[in-house]
Structure 1
């Protein structure tokens, strides 16, 4: 059973995570956080050491939501190719998935924190590497089971695949045109069928 303090902390994180994600660490003021939560500055600092620790926990909260969705894609029934297509289908609708979060947490936090918050930058980099590793594992298992053929090592292919996905997310976000995402995912599906399907 959770304590009142734990429930309060969870409530704060849930409310402030989209704000940090949209406005960035520097761009988010304490007044933004108190307004979103309906709590005083003292109440916020009673639950978190400082703004940096709150921002980090907010990112970790959103990362767990994202990782759970990716794990569901990659660990479902079927073979490795089906898992990759579940992943690309997830990213086809990624802008809808991340809208309540304030956008893609990896992209937003990773870029925002690059020059002003090393712990947040490191956390975003770790999530990115974890996702690439999960994709690579699916690919490696697919090759080992004779389901796929890869022109390059699994991790290299996973990195290239994820780079294209993240690039499409960035272009769709910057331009406000989701066709960048839709068209890139459609191309990736063709590429996967052509390059790695046995």
Structure 2
């Protein structure tokens, strides 16, 4: 990796954490300069605008999370164990964040709702990718006889993601991981009683 590539990756990581903690609108170029230790020209040498930096920083954050999810899923063979592995990564991310500031998907979805259409579209793409990961796990589980054939994968995915993200929001709001722990316990029971054969 060249020096320029290293600098760009450093900017992306630090900007991803800044945006995830303060929001895109709440982070100024001065804030970006402060966390990166670079002057404006050093930042704009790698990114045409704050908007471009925001999109690439979001992609960077999502790629970091995805890497952890795929690594955890890759160590499991049974569909239910793969779902549980995702829950475990999600839980560990609350206490030991991969990207400081909580779930970048949740944070960015809330902030970009109407204010930033390009960032909203990117967030939808990231959510679609996460949904596809769950879908592949569930469908393969059905094919292998590990999950009931009557399961509606889309319905299960909505329940899982909504429960995890809502509980993450509550845990962050109250500074107490108990909310996410309760949600994961509920999802584990739900999977055992409604999905597992």
| TM-score normalized by the length of structure 1 | 0.93
Q: Cα–Cα, structure 1 residues 185 and 74, in superposed 2: closer, same or farther, change >3 Å? A: same
Aligned partners of 1:23, 1:63: CA distance in 2, in Å?
17
1:15-164 to structure 2, matched below 5 A, reads 15-98=14-97, 100-149=99-148, 151-164=150-163
Runs of 4+ in 1 over 3 A off after TM superposition: none
| Number of residue pairs the alignment of both structures matches | 197
Aligned partners of 2:93, 2:2: CA distance in 1, in Å?
34
Residue ranges of structure 2 left out of the alignment (5+ in a row): none
Aligned partners of 2:91, 2:21: CA distance in 1, in Å?
21
Partner of 1:196: 195
Aligned partners of 1:130, 1:156: CA distance in 2, in Å?
16
Aligned partners of 1:94, 1:29: CA distance in 2, in Å?
26
Aligned partners of 2:67, 2:177: CA distance in 1, in Å?
23
Aligned partners of 2:188, 2:63: CA distance in 1, in Å?
26
Aligned Cα root-mean-square deviation (Å)? 1.5
| Pairwise CA distance, 1:94 | 2.5
Q: Deviations along 1:94-145, whole A, 9 cap, x unmatched?
A: 3024264221100111111112211111111111111111111111111111
Residue ranges of structure 1 left out of the alignment (5+ in a row): none
Aligned partners of 2:105, 2:178: CA distance in 1, in Å?
20
Aligned partners of 1:189, 1:145: CA distance in 2, in Å?
20
